[in-house]
Chain A
Amino acid sequence: MGCALESRGSRGRYFLEFPVGMTVVEKILARASGLPAVKAGDVVEPAVDLAMSHENAALVMNQFAEVFEGTGLPAIPWDPSRIAIILDHRVPAESPKTATNQKKIREFVATHGIEKFHDIRGDVGGICHQVLPEYGYVRPGMVVVGTDSHTTSHGALGAFSFGIGATEMASIWALGKAVNIEVPATIKVVVRGKFGRHVGPKDLILHLIGRLTAQGANFRVLEFHGKTIERMSTSGRLAICNMSVEAGATCGIVPGDEETLRYLKEEARVKGKVPVILPDEDAMYEQVVEVDVRDLAPQVACPHTVDNVKPIQEVQGTRVHQIVIGSCTNGRLDDLEVAAGILKGKKLARGTRMLVFPASARVFAKALDLGYVHTLMKAGAVVMNSGCGPCLGVHEGALGDDEVALSTTNRNFKGRMGNPRSEVYLCSPAVAAASALTGVITDPREQA
């Protein structure tokens, strides 16, 4: 991989006869739409580089067949090599209905030769938002769509990546383009300062969502900049881009840099030259938000909205019954490392249970090799297979009436974990692990 940072994409759009630069997403959409330049508000039809679905591919298939009804044209996807299907929401299947949907998906995948298919497996399986980066399916500058709102995750690798519904995916499978897309305005987020001990990317994104509110970035892009982001690992960037949607954002994006190239080369085993796309210096941002993380405390999102964020001091001591560490947000190797570090040689508090579900089979295997799984199990945690189930109350890990969960996942809506008479708090892996030892929300900075 030639490691020189190369800025790709056109420049020189004119606004009131003065040249105006473009944001990263504007550059990506201009390239994908075959236009020299675009600006926020333009309507474009970008070619799609990667189209991801999970179990809801069953609905996409249904809608896809309907598109072709009565046309006399064969219902064949535009480009099977650009379609990815990852089974993760209910794995292994919890019901005959799910199992049958998964079976139909396998048949479709075989019929159309879809190679980026990750079945329920202990080697290549996992949660879609971890599998896509791990296997090098996502590169800087791509247009990525997914039938999952947390598709925002892949902006961590410099792609324009956004969530869509199943019918829109069926349209993309048919046409290869996303039709009638409005170029979103961009909010520039500049993050400075070094995180304190036991404070990290999850606390940053929770803090930001609290500031912006749940709809503060609706129809907008969050473009991340600043020294803190430059120093942040791809894992941390995936966490902040993942949760950008909780502020309503169409996508979160970190322009590609040395860390992006390192990740792609070393962890995703991508070969060859990878160009990255950087914003123009005179790009037009709708707003600039600055954050200094030097004095940031661990943050907790309280029931029942993700923007109900408080510094840990205000909620510590709250009784918790179930600790959850995992998901596409915080189920990666460094998250498990933090949890294992805090729990090593210790035991969960009585009356508190702990579920751990790694983000992918590959993460699980590495955590086994490094001893994290053993450490967590000895402390009393139940280590589950990789999947989405507990996060959204579809499969295992449901809460009892009046129970409280403290979770590293991404949503705490009423009923999210399967029971409307329960509560969910969201936090970082460090806060979750520290609280598992005490049975109450605990500041990890204050533990010995």
Chain B
Amino acid sequence: MSTVILKLGNDISTDDIYPGRYMATVLPSETPQFCFANRPEINAALNAGQHPPGSVIAAGENFGCGSSREQAVSTLKGHGLIIVARSIARIFLQNSINLGLPVVICRGLEAEEGQHLEIGPETVKNLSTGQEFEVSRLPEARQAILEAGGLIPYTRSRLKEFRG
């Protein structure tokens, strides 16, 4: 069971998730402190460890639009968050798969802050309302990277084939 700690609307940009002025910080070990830095309340709660790993951000359409900055993914991953969104922008989705940030595309999602979700491979169930929503499968092409645990181990596994 996962709790929705933040509900967001459509077109949440990577500038919102990880503002440009912190982009000189690049290492995944250092980016979590600036997560949603322009939203002081949620930033403070995350940094104070108030939300356990597995907490959910429920978003609308086109989550992660804009810049390709990977900090926007590593900052969320660093807090152990799960993203459930109605749709996700291409580069952000690819970066999430590459780094292993759990993302779930759920077109009909209805969820409010404080509600509890049960996230399965086929459906997301809102335990607080009893509603169930279908999960869109990630593109087939991404499965191999997901199964390898991210793009770094996947690339490592193919190095010999390319450099043999």
Taking a contact as CB atoms closer than 8 A, the residue among B69, B142, B162 that contacts A177 in the complex is B162
Q: Which residues of A contact B154 (CB under 8 A)?
A: 171, 179
Q: Which residues of A contact B140 (CB under 8 A)?
A: 43
From 92 to 146 in chain B, residues with beta carbon under 8 angstroms from any chain A beta carbon are 94-95, 98-99, 139-142, 144-145
Taking a contact as CB atoms under 8 Å apart, the answer to whether A165 and B68 are in contact is yes
The interface stretch among A309-317, A412-420, A426-434, A439-447 is: A412-420
The interface stretch among A30-38, A67-75, A271-279 is: A67-75
Taking a contact as CB atoms under 8 Å apart, the answer to whether B26 and A214 are in contact is no
A165 touching B73 in the complex, CB below 8 Å, given contacts A43-B140, A415-B38: yes
Where chain A touches its partner, the secondary structure class is loop
Q: Which residues of B contact A219 (CB under 8 A)?
A: 90
Taking a contact as CB atoms under 8 Å apart, the answer to whether B152 and A59 are in contact is no
Q: Which residues of B contact A318 (CB under 8 A)?
A: none
A63–B16 CA distance with the chains assembled, in angstroms: 24
Q: Which residues of A contact B20 (CB under 8 A)?
A: 392-394, 416, 418
Q: Which residues of A contact B24 (CB under 8 A)?
A: 55, 90, 94-95, 97-98, 101, 394
Q: Is B65 an interface residue (CB 8 A)?
A: yes
| Range class of the B interface residue count | 35 or more
The 9 nearest A-B residue pairs measured at CB: A165-B95, A215-B62, A392-B20, A59-B26, A420-B38, A413-B13, A171-B155, A165-B70, A43-B141
Closest chain A residue to B163, Cβ basis? A73
Taking a contact as CB atoms under 8 Å apart, the answer to whether A67 and B155 are in contact is yes
Q: Is B151 an interface residue (CB 8 A)?
A: yes
Taking a contact as CB atoms closer than 8 A, the residue among A43, A95, A165, A179 that contacts B158 in the complex is A179
Taking a contact as CB atoms under 8 Å apart, the answer to whether A394 and B162 are in contact is no
Closest chain A residue to B22, Cβ basis? A394
Q: Nearest Cβ distance between residue A397 and chain B, in whole angstroms? A: 12
A413 touching B21 in the complex, CB below 8 Å, given contacts A167-B98, A250-B90: no
Closest chain B residue to A172, Cβ basis? B155
Q: Is A411 an interface residue (CB 8 A)?
A: yes
A112–B38 CA distance with the chains assembled, in angstroms: 39
Q: Which residues of B contact A69 (CB under 8 A)?
A: 156
Other A-B pairs beyond A215-B61, A413-B13, 6, CB < 8 Å: A67-B156, A90-B24, A101-B26, A248-B62, A414-B16, A416-B15
From 51 to 89 in chain B, residues with beta carbon under 8 angstroms from any chain A beta carbon are 61-62, 65-70, 73, 87, 89
Q: Which residues of B contact A411 (CB under 8 A)?
A: 13, 15, 66
A166–B155 CA distance with the chains assembled, in angstroms: 13
Closest chain B residue to A398, Cβ basis? B21
Taking a contact as CB atoms closer than 8 A, the residue among B61, B66, B162 that contacts A175 in the complex is B162
Q: Nearest Cβ distance between residue B28 and chain A, in whole angstroms? A: 9
Q: Nearest Cβ distance between residue B41 and chain A, in whole angstroms? A: 13
Closest chain A residue to B156, Cβ basis? A67
Interface centre among B68, B94, B144, B151 (most CB of A within 10 A): B68
| Range class of the A interface residue count | 35 or more
Taking a contact as CB atoms under 8 Å apart, the answer to whether B25 and A97 are in contact is yes
Interface string of A285-327 (1 = CB under 8 A from B): 0000000000000000000010100000000000000000000
Q: Which residues of A contact B73 (CB under 8 A)?
A: 165
A280–B141 CA distance with the chains assembled, in angstroms: 26
Taking a contact as CB atoms under 8 Å apart, the answer to whether B11 and A214 are in contact is yes
Taking a contact as CB atoms under 8 Å apart, the answer to whether B141 and A165 are in contact is no
Interface centre among A63, A69, A78, A95 (most CB of B within 10 A): A63
Q: Nearest Cβ distance between residue B97 and chain A, in whole angstroms? A: 9
Q: Nearest Cβ distance between residue A29 and chain B, in whole angstroms? A: 13
Interface string of A212-236 (1 = CB under 8 A from B): 0011001100000000000000000
Closest chain B residue to A63, Cβ basis? B152
A320–B160 CA distance with the chains assembled, in angstroms: 57
Q: Is A187 an interface residue (CB 8 A)?
A: no
Q: Nearest Cβ distance between residue A166 and chain B, in whole angstroms? A: 5
Q: Which residues of A contact B155 (CB under 8 A)?
A: 67, 170-171, 174-175, 179
Q: Is B42 an interface residue (CB 8 A)?
A: no
Q: Which residues of B contact A149 (CB under 8 A)?
A: 66-68, 91
Taking a contact as CB atoms under 8 Å apart, the answer to whether A218 and B159 are in contact is no
Taking a contact as CB atoms under 8 Å apart, the answer to whether A415 and B15 are in contact is yes
Q: Which residues of B contact A218 (CB under 8 A)?
A: 62, 87, 89-90
Q: Which residues of A contact B145 (CB under 8 A)?
A: 179-180
Taking a contact as CB atoms under 8 Å apart, the answer to whether A180 and B26 are in contact is no
Closest chain B residue to A418, Cβ basis? B21
Taking a contact as CB atoms under 8 Å apart, the answer to whether B70 and A59 are in contact is yes
Q: Nearest Cβ distance between residue B151 and chain A, in whole angstroms? A: 5
